[in-house]
Each structure stands twice: as structure tokens, then as C-alpha cells.
């Protein structure tokens, strides 16, 4: 099948590469010529384990192409995927400018019948709006069908999620279009649900909102555990045995970040509001997450009172491990707070430093050596559970820091492990380890 993908961000690039890998002829289109030049040379513009190998292989085998010219990229395509960004507007709603422009570009250039598939996360009803634009702007008497095919991949495991996904959702207006999209995806061998367009759009928002709810729920349980003396990890484990609850997404921490949950939860509140429905539960989920991102600051103030002049190692900047993405990372909330409170921050991350520098305006030091960050620190704040942070020998905190005081926002260490050290250790929803008091 001859396929085009508009947009080479996370979703677009992974979709294009994966579709070429299962045998389709895929052209990815992006308006940025510099990006296209890099992609053509087999270099991904995002950090994603396993992506580069697949890109190189499919470029070499003549199935994967990149261009910044819509006319060239769309020519003769039977199916076109829209995978451009839908950034958040100030009021929380999704900005559809890029999606609308993609629809205009398709309509202007297509000379043959085509199916337009929306991968981007778009508010319920947007596919029909896209259909209107396509029909308004088309230059030839061609048949254009639409499909909503939302994406469920996670950053950092996008390739695995695409090839071993839980489901493929195909929302169309007619069974023939659904059959074609199903056939395209058949080699992935993932369960398919064919449904109507509006439900497909809603499935995406509801899934992300539900996962965000699970996280905020366990984070509130964690906060209650701290007050009652229970251990949230034991509680989550016990809850997770119940198959109706499930084990996943019950890891307490300093809240969810990234380009999806914060944006999509806000957008769903907006969508509901536009239909005069107050989504109280989801609003609470968002508020809990905002508070949770500040939680370590409260613990630090409780411990020290003032942190004026203290040297702080902030380890981990990305919103989660295996990505250089820092969008909505708790680091962006915590670091400015630490600086405002008068401390000197030295921040470590294996790959997210450049992105953080672009985003943070406060004056801090950066290092890509974990030990340099820890050296002489008065206390350490853990923001991301990178493997090298999770598997660090705890002796390194004791040996390198001025005092081994650690505030762990991701529950990286087993409390049994910490028990045998001189670490003063504060985590989320679990008892503190304070050596003097324990004896
Ligand atoms: C999320 C969804 O998991 C994907 O299914 C979806 O396709 C994607 O959004 C999207 O809409 O594009 P992603 O944002 O890449 O994927 O990251 P996740 O791995 O889901 O993690 C999101 C955040 O939740 C991270 O900050 C992570 O630290 C946090 N989290 C996750 C927790 O705090 N606790 C958990 O138990 C799980």
C-alpha cells in the first residue's frame, strides 16, 4: 500500500517507520527541511530506543522516504495519516491549526481517491471537521474517506508498543474504509476494534484520562499512607492482585508529566465543558497532580526550614526514563522553587540536559556525570527513575555527598536496602529512614 504520513513528531515518525517495516511504501512529510535532511540520512529527530535501526533498514530497503514537499510526498498515496501536533492552548483546549493545515494540504494536492486517517489526538468531532475541510478544498472530483485511528504508544517504548500493542482502534463511517485500515495493520497482529468515528476519538481521551486518574488515585493513597504509617508499595501490590484493578499504573511518585496526560486531561475537561458537562472527577485528578509535583519541596522545607545557600543535586530531569522529553516534567516545577528558596542546584540527566536548558530560565549548573552532581551536595532530589539512578550503589551517596540526605520522588530504592545505610531517606508514601531516630 502507498502511504503518506504528515508530521514527523513522535507519533508520525514511529508510525511511518513501523508501517514501512511491515512492508508498505511510506513517505513521511514534514515542513521543516532541516529535519527532513536529518531523517533522510537515517538519524531520528527524537530519542527512542530501537527507532534508528528500523529507520536505517527501511530506508536502505527502499520503503521509507522523507520530504518537505507536500506535492511530492502525497502523490499517488492511497492512505494518508495526519500525525501533526495538537498543542495545548492557554485555556486547556487543543490547538487544531496544524491538523487543519494538513487537511488543506491534502485536499489541495490529491488527484486520486484517498483515505485520510487521523492519528493525532483530536477532540471528539474533529474528524468530521477535517472531512468538511477536505471537501471544501479538494481540487478534483475524488472520493475522500476519513478514519480515526488513535495512537496508544508510550515514549521510550514506542516501537514495542506499536508492534505489541493492546489494541488498534479504527473509527470510520463505512465498513469498507475500516477493512482497508485493518488490512494495512494486519501484519502487526494486534486486536482490532472497529467502531464509529466519535467513539474512536473518545476512546483515546478516556484511556489517557483513566490512566492519569489511576496515578492521581495512588498518589493520594500514598499521601494518606504517609500520615497513617502504611507503605504505599505494599498497598498497591495488594490492590494489584485484583484483576479488576490490575497491577499497572499504580506507582506512586511526584506525579505524571509528558506531552500527553497533562494536555489530554485538560482537553477532556474542556470537551466536557463545551457540552455543558462539569467533569469534576478529572478536574480533581489534575489538581492532585499539580500538588503532587510540589510535594518534595514541602518535605525539604519540613526537614531544613531554610535551604538558603545549600548545594542541591537534582538527579533526573526527563518526565520519565528513556526519553529526553522534559515537557511537564516535575523538574520544571521543582528546580525553580529550589532556586527561589536560595539553594544552588546542580542537575544531572543522561540525555535531557539540552532540552531542559531551552526551557528553564533559572541559573543552575548542569552535568552529565552523576558523581559530579552528588559531590559535596547537602541533599539530593530524585526526579526521574533512570536505570543508572535506580541501580546506583547507595554507598555513592554516603561517599560523595556532604550529608547523605535523599528526597526520592520516584521510590527508586527498596526500604530494606536503605535500612543498612546511613542515608537519611524520604520517599513517597513510605516510612522515612532517619538513622539517628532509628538508632
Ligand atoms: C501516555 C500513555 O501511556 C500512552 O498510552 C499514550 O499513547 C501516550 O500517553 C499519548 O497519549 O501519546 P507517555 O506520556 O509516553 O504515554 O508516558 P507513560 O509511560 O504513560 O507515563 C506518563 C507519566 O505517568 C510519566 O510522568 C510517569 O512517570 C507517570 N507514571 C506512570 C506514574 O507516575 N506512575 C505510574 O504508575 C505510571
Whole-number percent of the chain with pLDDT over 70: 99
Domain of 186, CATH number, reads 3.40.50.720
Residue 50, pLDDT > 70, answer: yes
Any idea which residue has 536560595 for its cell? 342
Q: Across residues 253-257, what is the average pLDDT?
A: 97
Return the pLDDT at 436: 72
Domain assignment of residue 414, given as a range: 293-437
Instruction: Specify the pTM.
Output: 0.95
- Binding site membership of 215 for ligand 1 (Cβ less than 6 Å): yes
Q: Which of 211, 334, 428 to mutate to test the pocket of ligand 1 (most atoms within 8 A of CB)?
A: 211
* pLDDT one-digit tens code per residue, 209-235: 999 999 999 999 999 999 999 999 999
Q: Domain tally for the chain?
A: 3
Q: Which atom of ligand 1 is nearest to the CA of 329?
A: 26
Residues 48 and 163 in one domain: yes
Residues 286 and 298 in one domain: no
Residues 134 and 65 in one domain: yes
Q: Is the dihedral of CA 168, 174, 177, 179 positive or negative?
A: positive
Residues 112 and 191 in one domain: yes
Mean pLDDT, the chain, integer? 96
Which residue, 144, 178, 195, sits at the end of a domain?
195
Residues 240 and 99 in one domain: no
Return the pLDDT at 437: 52
Choose between 112 and 439: higher pLDDT. 112
Q: Across residues 26-31, what is the average pLDDT?
A: 97
Return the pLDDT at 438: 47
Query: Does 28 participate in catalysis according to the annotation?
Result: no
Q: Which atom of ligand 1 is nearest to the CA of 258?
A: 14
Q: Across residues 394-399, what is the average pLDDT?
A: 97
Residues 423 and 324 in one domain: yes
Return the pLDDT at 93: 86
Return the pLDDT at 173: 98
Residue 439, pLDDT > 60, answer: no
Q: Across residues 336-342, what is the average pLDDT?
A: 98
Which residue, 269, 291, 313, sits at the end of a domain?
291
* pLDDT one-digit tens code per residue, 287-313: 999 999 999 999 999 999 999 999 999
Residue 2, pLDDT > 70, answer: yes
Q: Across residues 16-23, what is the average pLDDT?
A: 98
- Binding site membership of 233 for ligand 1 (Cβ less than 6 Å): no
Q: Across residues 142-153, what is the average pLDDT?
A: 97
Amino acid at each position: 500500500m502507498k502511504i503518506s504520513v504528515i508530521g514527523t513528531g513522535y507519533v508520525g515518525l514511529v508510525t511511518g517507520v513501523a508501517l514501512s517495516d511491515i512492508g508498505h511504501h511510506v513517505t513521511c512529510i514534514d515542513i521543516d527541511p532541516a529535519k527532513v535532511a536529518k531523517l533522510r540520512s537515517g538519524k531520528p529527530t527524537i530519542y527512542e530506543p530501537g527507532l534508528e535501526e528500523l529507520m536505517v533498514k527501511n530506508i536502505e530497503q527502499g520503503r521509507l522516504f522523507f520530504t518537505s514537499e507536500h506535492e511530492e510526498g502525497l502523490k499517488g498515496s492511497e492512505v494518508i495519516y495526519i500525525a501533526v501536533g495538537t498543542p495545548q492552548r492557554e485555556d486547556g483546549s487543543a490547538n487544531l491549526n496544524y491538523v487543519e493545515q494538513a487537511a488543506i494540504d491534502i485536499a489541495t494536492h490529491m488527484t486520486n481517491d484517498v483515505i485520510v486517517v487521523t492519528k493525532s489526538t483530536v477532540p471528539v468531532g474533529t474528524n468530521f471537521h477535517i472531512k468538511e475541510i477536505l471537501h471544501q478544498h479538494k481540487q478534483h472530483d475524488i472520493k475522500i474517506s476519513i478514519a480515526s485511528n488513535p495512537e496508544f504508544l508510550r515514549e521510550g517504548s514506542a516501537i514495542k508498543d506499536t508492534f505489541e500493542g493492546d489494541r488498534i482502534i479504527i473509527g470510520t463511517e463505512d465498513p469498507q474504509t475500516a477493512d482497508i485500515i485493518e488490512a494495512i495493520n494486519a501484519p502487526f497482529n494486534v486486536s482490532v476494534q472497529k467502531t464509529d468515528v466519535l467513539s474512536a476519538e473518545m476512546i483515546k481521551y478516556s484511556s489517557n484520562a483513566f490512566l492519569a486518574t489511576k496515578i492521581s488515585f495512588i498518589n493520594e493513597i500514598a499521601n494518606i499512607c504517609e500520615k497513617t504509617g502504611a507503605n504505599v508499595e505494599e498497598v498497591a501490590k495488594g490492590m494489584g492482585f485484583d484483576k479488576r484493578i490490575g497491577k499497572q499504573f499504580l506507582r506512586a511518585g511526584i506525579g505524571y508529566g509528558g506531552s500527553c496526560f497533562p494536555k489530554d486531561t485538560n482537553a477532556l475537561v474542556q470537551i466536557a465543558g463545551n457540552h455543558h458537562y462539569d467533569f469534576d472527577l478529572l478536574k480533581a485528578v489534575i489538581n492532585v497532580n499539580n500538588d503532587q509535583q510540589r510535594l518534595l519541596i514541602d518535605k525539604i522545607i519540613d526537614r531544613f526550614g531554610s535551604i538558603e545557600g545549600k548545594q542541591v543535586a537534582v538527579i533526573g530531569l526527563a518526565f520519565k526514563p528513556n526519553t529526553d522529553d522534559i515537557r511537564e516534567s516535575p523538574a520544571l516545577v521543582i528546580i525553580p522553587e529550589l532556586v527561589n528558596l536560595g539553594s544552588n542546584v546542580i542537575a544531572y540527566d543522561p540525555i535531557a540536559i539540552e532540552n531542559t536548558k531551552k526551557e528553564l530560565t533559572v541559573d543552575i549548573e548542569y552535568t552529565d556525570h552523576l558523581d559530579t552532581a552528588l559531590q559535596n551536595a547537602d541533599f539530593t532530589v530524585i526526579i526521574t527513575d533512570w536505570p543508572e539512578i535506580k541501580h546506583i550503589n547507595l554507598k555513592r551517596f554516603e561517599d560523595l555527598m556532604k550529608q547523605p540526605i535523599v528526597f526520592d520522588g520516584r521510590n527508586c530504592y527498596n526500604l530494606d536496602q536503605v535500612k543498612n545505610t546511613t542515608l537519611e531517606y524520604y520517599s513517597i508514601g513510605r516510612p522515612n529512614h532517619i538513622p539517628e531516630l532509628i538508632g
